[in-house]
Amino acid sequence: MGFAKQGMAERLALLLAGRVPRMDAPDNSRPAGVLVPLYVRDDAWHVLLNVRSHHVGQHKGEIAFPGGRLEPDDADMVTCALREAHEEMGIRPGDVQVLGQLDGVYTRTGYMVWPIVGVIPYPYSFVADRREVAEVIEAPLGALLDASAVRHETRLQPDGTLLRRRAFAHGRHLIFGATAVMLDQLLGYVSQAMDASLEAEG
């Protein structure tokens, strides 16, 4: 992908450090956290997503990052995201190197989602909870960065306005909605990390 495997994680951490994530949502929104897990597989950076099962209460069959709502015992949103990733995918919190946080995304179901970016080792023995996860998706960042992966989503809002945003195709899957907004943010920072790496090499 044009930059050192270890250097990418370090540059992403620098880009995410010290920023104050935007969290624009109504006062009655419900907080939730997701982990955006990154890892190196076959000498290329990948991001882990999953297809939600049809047994979950909301967003059935949609593509998402592992995560869920904030519970009373969660110390903060990072704790929430790590706990949920462990419950859904068997990713142990101690195995995650947290790099930082993306801007929050408000969902149509009333959740304010806090995306936490982290690196995990690979190979990893993922243990998906089949009550919540129908399929595991391991998507190469290089493929998602390619212009051919970009799609465009248009959604009619309750006030009659149109919401336009990017979506992403990966194989037979379409990543759209809040997950695509988070992924779009991530890819923006990955592009910046790549540019910084190329400048350093030059």
Please choose, from the candidates 87, 86, 96, 131, the residue with its C-alpha nearest in 3D space to the C-alpha of residue 13: 96
Range of the domain at 32: 5-194
- Distance set, CA 36 to CA 10, 92, 182 (Å): 16, 14, 9
What's this model's pTM, rounded to 2 decimal places?
A: 0.92
Specify the number of domains making up the chain.
Answer: 1
**Residue 200 belongs to some domain of the structure:** no
Distance CA 91, CA 7 (A): 23
**Residue 177 belongs to some domain of the structure:** yes
To the nearest 10°, report the CA torsion of 117, 122, 125, 131.
30
**Residue 50 belongs to some domain of the structure:** yes
Low-confidence spans in the chain with pLDDT less than 70: 1-6, 54, 56-60, 197-202
83 SS3 class: helix
Q: What is the pLDDT of residue 3?
A: 44
**Residue 202 belongs to some domain of the structure:** no
> Which tokens in the block code for residue 193?
């990390």
**Residue 201 belongs to some domain of the structure:** no
Q: What is the CATH number of the domain that holds 123?
A: 3.90.79.10
Q: What is the pLDDT of residue 2?
A: 41
DSSP 8-state secondary structure symbol assigned to residue 95: G
Residue 114 near residue 24 (C-beta atoms within 8 A): no
**Residue 170 belongs to some domain of the structure:** yes
